[in-house]
């Protein structure tokens, strides 16, 4: 599964430095919490770096026993303990991050291929623990002598620990590299070779592969350039895509978001009994964006940020003066709060500032191995669509749907392999899942120029219209309309679509009676089709104008804005303008201009009114002059609109005033004057 978007960069180990004047007891409490979080990770499988992870956790278990004994004695702690505790606090933060990353669902292959770095981090951290224990003034600490002796033993063992990449992991790395080399040379790897790698990584299902692909994709789009790391990520994504498409014959049910979250929480196995641990000490609300400050205390980001903004530079809980205002995301707490919300059917707020993926980066593969893997995966999918059972065809269509969603090169591979005709054949399937997957897959392929041409060349237009009319699932109908939209971006395709008798009437029907998404797709598809002059009469005959006028009053402003865009195009012709006037659209257009907050929508609305004046003559101008709300809206555009909107608004004002002259209604003139004064 993808990582939460607020997490630190993978395998980065940021820490919060303890404050210079931190109390030993505060540090001890923070260390206990950290140790508990690390020990809770014992339940994770750790398919890679298993021994290193177990050794690190074993050391922390001993330290936790020592801290429990110290806390249980209740004696005052010497100030000299702060140095050792501070070093230990920093090291355990890093160790927690590293262990969480090694246990993260979906990160198995990447952790394996980054083994040298991971092993080095484990070695440094375990030895840092030894150093921190070495500087502890054990003689001044009130603890059981056996526990002190155990700490000395752990200190010695930690320093001598032979932490390195395990032989099984090294062999798995060689196997992955060998398979990538085979892909590069156009050779299909054996099933036994793939099985060996997947078994080592505990990847045993279609969904497991999906988690790996999603994780690698996220890292790929996070990477800043197309250097060595991005190239390796590209190769590994193709490797896992090939495994999912070719190796697994059946598709397990996809996990819902709730199930994924539960699996993630189970894997991380954080156990918190006291809900107060999840509440922000400032707001007393559950922390949806928890961050840790220099004292080790955790707060909700918004609350502690407001605290800092009010020039408070102390920790709200401890009162300690802060050495810095660094905020480190606490993913462990966030995951727990998210799990709690899901279990109680409470909506968890989506993180802000999520970056949009730059899909253009996928136009070309970064490695020959990635290109070879996808070419062979495409060939296998063609074979399954051509000769497979219904179950195999459904899996193949779903695979194409997933792999072509956000990867341009994958789309090109699938089109070149000849997948489009086979997918179109599935449009008439009575199996709702097969039909839905096939339509969604073709939608993705229609976004590629070669894909759109292939759809039209093999006679897919009529099949698409039939799906819009008769599909068994609403989602399939909506996706089919979206296919028409992408196809109609090419001029000759608009004409071909318009030639299908039921194409435009079907869109108008969906525009009138469909769901929000169905109407949204239908209105933008209709707009594209209207760019071909021959399609205008067909839209008018289908009754498009009254439906579009009704949409101007829609609560969904984006839908109303799209509708006014189609009306603007319609009004450019005499017949279109006549149809708009016959639908009594002018009052609706004026109200849209007054109430809409969309700058582009208001500009299109003025364009529509101008075209109505041009094609309808003095009768329309006179009608506009009788509407008190119009001129204030136009002057508002003159004052605050874009240069284009300003020009159109001035033209319409001049048009109205040239006919009405001094007789223009006083209430409108007064309102217009008010707007002029504001603009000055």
Decide which of 165, 188, 221 is a domain's last residue.
Answer: 165
Q: Is the pLDDT of residue 183 over 90?
A: yes
Backbone angles phi, psi at 608, to 5 degrees: -60, -45
Say if residue 158 is in the same domain as residue 283: no
Check if the beta carbon of residue 595 is closer than 8 Å to that of residue 554.
no
Question: pLDDT tens-digit profile of 566-625?
Answer: 999 999 999 999 999 999 999 999 999 999 988 899 999 999 999 999 999 889 999 988
**Bridge partners, residue 402, by sequence:** none
Q: Picking from 211-215, 305-309, 372-376, which range would have the lowest pLDDT averaged per residue?
A: 305-309
Decide which of 343, 371, 404 is a domain's last residue.
Answer: 343
Q: Is residue 322 part of a domain?
A: yes
* pLDDT at res. 346: 59
Reduce the DSSP state of residue 592 to 3 states and report it.
helix
Encode 201-225: b = buried (16+ Cβ within 10 Å), e = exposed: bebeebbbbbbbbbbbbbbbbebee
Check if the beta carbon of residue 439 is closer than 8 Å to that of residue 427.
yes
* pLDDT at res. 56: 95
Q: Is residue 290 part of a domain?
A: yes
Say if residue 159 is in the same domain as residue 282: no
- Total domains in the chain come to 3
Question: Considering the chain, what is the average pLDDT of its residues?
Answer: 87
* pLDDT at res. 615: 92
pTM: 0.80
Instruction: Please return the burial class of 366, using the count of CB atoms within 10 Å of its CB with bins 0-12, 13-18 and 19+.
Output: buried
DSSP letter, residue 47: S
Helical ranges in 74-190 per DSSP H: 81-103, 108-113, 115-134, 145-160, 167-184
Q: Is residue 61 part of a domain?
A: yes
Q: Taken in order 256, 257, 258, 261, is the CA torsion positive or negative?
A: positive
Q: Is the pLDDT of residue 279 over 90?
A: no
Q: Is residue 637 part of a domain?
A: yes
Q: Is residue 571 part of a domain?
A: yes
Q: Is residue 57 part of a domain?
A: yes
Instruction: Please return the burial class of 592, using the count of CB atoms within 10 Å of its CB with bins 0-12, 13-18 and 19+.
Output: buried
Reduce the DSSP state of residue 249 to 3 states and report it.
coil
Domain residues for 576? Answer: 556-680
d(CA 139, CA 375): 67
Mean pLDDT in residue range 17-29: 85
Q: Is the pLDDT of residue 261 over 50?
A: no
CA nearest neighbour of 233 among 214, 220, 221, 215: 220
Check if the beta carbon of residue 86 is closer than 8 Å to that of residue 170.
no
Q: Is the pLDDT of residue 340 over 80?
A: no
Q: Is residue 304 part of a domain?
A: yes
d(CA 660, CA 248): 75
Decide which of 165, 197, 217 is a domain's last residue.
Answer: 165
Q: Is residue 640 part of a domain?
A: yes
Give the contacts of 344 (CB within 8 A, at least 6 positions apart): none
Question: pLDDT tens-digit profile of 522-580?
Answer: 999 999 999 999 999 999 999 999 999 999 998 888 999 999 999 999 999 999 999 99
Q: Is the pLDDT of residue 54 over 70?
A: yes
CA nearest neighbour of 482 among 433, 515, 434: 515
CATH number reported for the structural domain that contains residue 618 in this entry: 1.25.10.10
Q: How many CB atoms lie within 10 A of CB 582?
A: 10
């Amino acid at each position: 599964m993808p990582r939460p978007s607020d997490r630190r960069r993978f395998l980065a180990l940021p820490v919060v430095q303890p404050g210079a004047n931190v109390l030993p007891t505060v540090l001890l409490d923070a260390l206990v919490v950290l140790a508990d979080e690390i020990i809770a990770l014992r339940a994770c499988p750790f398919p890679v770096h298993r021994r290193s992870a177990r050794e690190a956790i074993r050391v922390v278990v001993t330290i936790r026993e020592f801290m429990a004994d110290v806390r249980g004695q209740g004696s005052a702690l010497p100030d000299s303990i702060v140095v050792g505790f501070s070093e230990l606090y920093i090291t355990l933060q890093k160790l927690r991050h590293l262990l969480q990353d090694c246990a993260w669902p979906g990160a198995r292959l990447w952790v394996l291929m980054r083994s040298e770095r991971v092993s080095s981090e484990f070695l440094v951290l375990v030895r840092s623990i030894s150093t921190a224990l070495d500087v502890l003034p054990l003689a001044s600490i009130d603890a059981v002598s056996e526990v002190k002796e155990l700490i000395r033993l752990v200190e010695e063992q930690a320093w001598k620990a032979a932490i390195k990449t395990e032989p099984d992991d090294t062999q798995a790395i060689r196997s992955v590299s060998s398979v990538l080399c085979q892909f590069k040379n156009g050779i299909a790897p054996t099933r036994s070779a793939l099985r060996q790698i997947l078994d080592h990584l505990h990847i045993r299902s279609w969904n497991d592969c999906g988690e790996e692909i999603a994780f690698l994709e996220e890292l790929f789009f996070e990477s800043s350039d197309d250097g060595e790391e991005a190239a390796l990520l590209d190769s590994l994504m193709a490797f896992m895509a090939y495994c999912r498409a070719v190796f697994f014959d059946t598709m397990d049910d996809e996990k819902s978001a709730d199930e994924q979250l539960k699996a993630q929480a189970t894997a991380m196995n954080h156990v918190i009994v006291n809900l107060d641990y999840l509440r922000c000490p400032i707001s007393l609300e559950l922390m949806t964006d928890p961050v840790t400050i220099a004292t080790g205390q955790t707060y909700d980001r918004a609350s502690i940020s407001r605290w800092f903004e009010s020039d408070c530079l102390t920790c709200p809980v401890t009162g300690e003066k802060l050495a810095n205002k660094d905020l480190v995301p606490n993913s462990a707490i966030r995951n727990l709060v998210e799990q709690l919300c899901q279990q109680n059917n409470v909506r968890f707020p989506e993180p802000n500032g999520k970056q949009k993926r730059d899909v253009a980066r996928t136009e070309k593969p970064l490695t020959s191995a990635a290109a070879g893997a996808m070419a062979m995966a495409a060939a296998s999918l063609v074979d399954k669509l051509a000769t497979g059972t219904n179950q195999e065809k459904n899996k193949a269509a779903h695979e194409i749907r997933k792999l072509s969603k956000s990867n341009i090169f994958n789309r090109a591979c699938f089109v070149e392999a000849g997948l489009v005709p086979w997918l179109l054949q599935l449009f008439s399937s009575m199996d709702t899942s097969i039909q839905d997957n096939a339509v969604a897959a073709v939608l993705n392929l229609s976004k590629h120029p070669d894909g759109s041409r292939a759809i039209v060349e093999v006679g897919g237009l009529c099949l698409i219209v039939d799906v819009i009319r008769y599909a068994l699932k609403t989602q399939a109908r909506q996706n089919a309309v979206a296919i028409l939209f992408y196809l109609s971006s090419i001029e000759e395709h608009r004409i071909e679509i318009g030639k299908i008798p039921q194409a435009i009437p079907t869109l108008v029907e969906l525009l009138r009676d469909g769901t929000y998404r169905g109407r949204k797709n239908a209105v933008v598809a209709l707009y594209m089709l209207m760019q071909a002059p021959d399609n205008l009469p067909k839209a008018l005959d289908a009754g498009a104008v009254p439906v579009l006028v009704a949409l101007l009053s829609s609560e969904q402003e984006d839908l109303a804005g799209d509708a006014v865009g189609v009306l603007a195009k319609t009004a450019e012709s005499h017949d279109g303008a006549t149809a708009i006037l016959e639908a009594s659209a002018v009052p609706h257009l004026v109200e849209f201009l007054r109430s809409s907050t969309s700058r582009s929508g208001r500009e299109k609305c003025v364009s529509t009114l101008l075209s109505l004046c041009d094609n309808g003559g003095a009768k329309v101008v006179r009608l506009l002059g009788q509407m008190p709300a119009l001129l204030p809206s136009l002057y508002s555009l003159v004052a605050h609109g874009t240069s284009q909107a300003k020009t159109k608004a001035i033209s319409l004002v001049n048009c109205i005033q040239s006919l009405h002259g001094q007789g223009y209604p006083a209430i409108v003139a007064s309102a217009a004057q008010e707007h002029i004064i504001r603009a000055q």
